[in-house]
Structure 1
Amino acid sequence: MKAIQLSRFGGPDVLELVDLPAPVPQAGEVLVRVRAAGINFFEVLMRADRYAVTPQLPMFPGVEVAGVVEAIGQGVDPALLRTRVAAPLFASQRPYGGYAELVTIDAGLVVPLPDAISFDEATALMVQGLTALHLPRQSQPEGKSVLVPAASGGVGSLLVQLARLKGARQVIAAGGGKAKLDFALSLGADIAVDYTNPDWPVRIRDVTDGEGADMIYDIVGGALTAASLLALALNGELVFAALGRFALGASEVEAMIGRNQSLRGFALLPLLSPDVLRAGLSELFQLAASGRLRVAIGGRFPLDQAGEAHRLLDERRSTGKVVLVP
């Protein structure tokens, strides 16, 4: 089978297409023919060795796929054969290897796909969808003014909608450029602010009657976090969900204390027992199938163009989910 290998850190061109033996499902596993593999921004960072965790090389990236069950291991229900499933590799014992034509995964982790959900859409609703689902559960937006940075991206585009569904009083989208802001508005954001303008935090205070946002879901990190604090209301909450990109210093955290602001961390994996994982994905699939949640696909690339897909994300030219199609 064909797969993408990372054997050295660097730019998008280090992603190499290689031939590997086809995997064989062991007892309790299924073999999935990959129809779509999702790409996440943390994989772009990992490829360049800019992520919080440095992987051991060589490695085979990709933590989420959707496809069709092609074979089963001993003890697996034969009814799974030829069914459409989502395979959340990130929750398995072998959490990588999704940029490939075939993958194996514990049969207890796969989630059936409704006919109304495409394989592409399913990948968007795994890491990014579950993040967008659980952020408002951990820090509830009901009745609050909420700021969503990178609102046109994979997580942000879903979070804008889910914050609204969870009762946010006002959803403010932040992004770079008119096209991305218009896209966020089309998803239901009340206001869109261009954070390539240096005075964007002032703009947010203007649209919140001088108060600032009650809650900020920081899914970007880096220098944006400190700038976001200028847009955070007294007694507001900054929810940090950008693992490996925390850049606040002691003085900035101390200033938050003086404004009665709170800082809350968010990490997805500790929340996901197998039951919670399956229930969350099923809920997201139902929301999307019913039309209550719009899933945007921002780019589809064949497996041998994985580097170009990474480049699109690296240069922040995408909206919605970017997928590989083996």
Structure 2
Amino acid sequence: MSKVVTFNRTGAPDVLEITHMTVAAPASHEVQIRVKAIGINRAEVMYRTGQYVIEPQFPARLGYEAAGIVEAVGTDVTDFAPGDRVSVIPSFMFSEYGMYAERVNAPVHAVVKHPENLSFEEAAASWMMFVTAYGALIEYGNLQAGQYVAIGAASSSVGIAAMQIANMVGAYPIALSRTRSKNALLMNAGASAVIATTEQDVTEELNKLTHGAGVNIVFDPVGGPDVAKLASGMAKDGVYFQYGALDERNLSIPVMDILGKHLLFRGYELFEITTNPEKMARAKAFVYDGLRSGKLKPVIDKVFSFDDIVQAHRYMESNNQTGKIIVTL
């Protein structure tokens, strides 16, 4: 038997329940993991509240990220063995698998060995945020040394990951935050500069920081009408990646900036990387090397126990975190 988090209706964090379920032996191409730590993600809050890309099927399970020890493997699994320390990368839907449990089965394509220098908490905090940022900045954006990247919601776990990746390749990460209150924190997290978007002229600051050249990439989960200010501060052939919708209003983009600078605006999501075997392999190698070398290091904001999963979700909804929220078993 395994403790498992489920919910039977959408709503506030209180709908989450801890129950006991029997865990089947891993099927073909599955790995069974004794979970030591779980990473909490915004997608799980959206799924719990009925605002995700799929509707929950009750009783519903959830959870994209976990780290632990392999207990068993299914047939045709050759890359993992009992005793391996592994992490799970989001590359499945909640209707298929859920990582909020003491013991889980995970699809082998979503499992990765993590470096020995990581704790289970750090491992559970790493893969979603670093692979998400890697996909936009490196796989699609081809970010190069000396270029500039503006990072929206920079104090989020993915924002911090993007800053570390930019620094890893020699680029300049410019953190975007609503106010100056997080300036010191963001500079310590790796920002080369911080712009307070409600207190400063965003376009003017971007042009000043880039010496008039503009930013090559914008990596933003916010969107909305204020994108116009970012567009005016982008470089020729610049690319804007929107990977969330914290502002659900439509983007506002100056047409002359698009035409005059040949700007590209595109939606981006993690599954573009994790459901493509070749891209996933490149992402795993890049992130693994960064974690092993210490150039990439997850920032953990707060740790909860498994029995406090409701409180962990409440904290996620407070939007007060800087970095990753972790639940341990």
Q: What is the TM-score of this pair, normalised by structure 2?
A: 0.85
Contact 2:153 2:221 in 1 (8 A): yes
Per-residue CA deviations over 1:161-219 (Å, capped at 9, x if unaligned) read 21222332x32111245563322212321111223436445443443446643321113
Task: Answer with 103-112 or 198-207: which moved more.
Answer: 198-207
Task: Answer with 272-281 or 309-318: which moved more.
Answer: 272-281
Q: Which runs of 5+ in 2 are unaligned?
A: none
Aligned to 2:272: 270
Aligned to 1:87: 88
Contact 2:3 2:20 in 1 (8 A): yes
2:149 is the counterpart of 1:146: yes
Q: Which runs of 5+ in 1 are unaligned?
A: none
CA–CA distance in structure 1, aligned partners of residues 302 and 192 of structure 2: 26
Aligned to 1:216: 218
1:136-215 correspondence runs (5 A): 136-137=137-138, 138-142=140-144, 143-168=146-171, 170-178=172-180, 180-197=182-199, 199-209=201-211, 212-215=214-217
CA–CA distance in structure 2, aligned partners of residues 88 and 14 of structure 1: 25
Contact 2:61 2:97 in 1 (8 A): yes
CA–CA distance in structure 2, aligned partners of residues 274 and 235 of structure 1: 28
2:125 is the counterpart of 1:100: no
* CA apart distance, 1:253: 6.5
Aligned to 1:110: 111
* CA apart distance, 1:238: 1.5
CA–CA distance in structure 1, aligned partners of residues 113 and 28 of structure 2: 20
CA–CA distance in structure 1, aligned partners of residues 54 and 257 of structure 2: 28
* CA apart distance, 1:318: 0.8
CA–CA distance in structure 2, aligned partners of residues 43 and 173 of structure 1: 25
Provide the alpha-carbon RMSD of the alignment: 2.9
Per-residue CA deviations over 1:248-307 (Å, capped at 9, x if unaligned) read 35x636455344332123232233333542442243122122111121111111122222
CA–CA distance in structure 1, aligned partners of residues 259 and 45 of structure 2: 36
2:327 is the counterpart of 1:324: yes
* CA apart distance, 1:324: 1.4
Q: What is the TM-score of this pair, normalised by structure 1?
A: 0.86
Aligned to 2:307: 304
Per-residue CA deviations over 1:220-242 (Å, capped at 9, x if unaligned) read 33455455345445653312222
CA–CA distance in structure 2, aligned partners of residues 150 and 244 of structure 1: 9
Amino acid across the alignment from 1:248? N
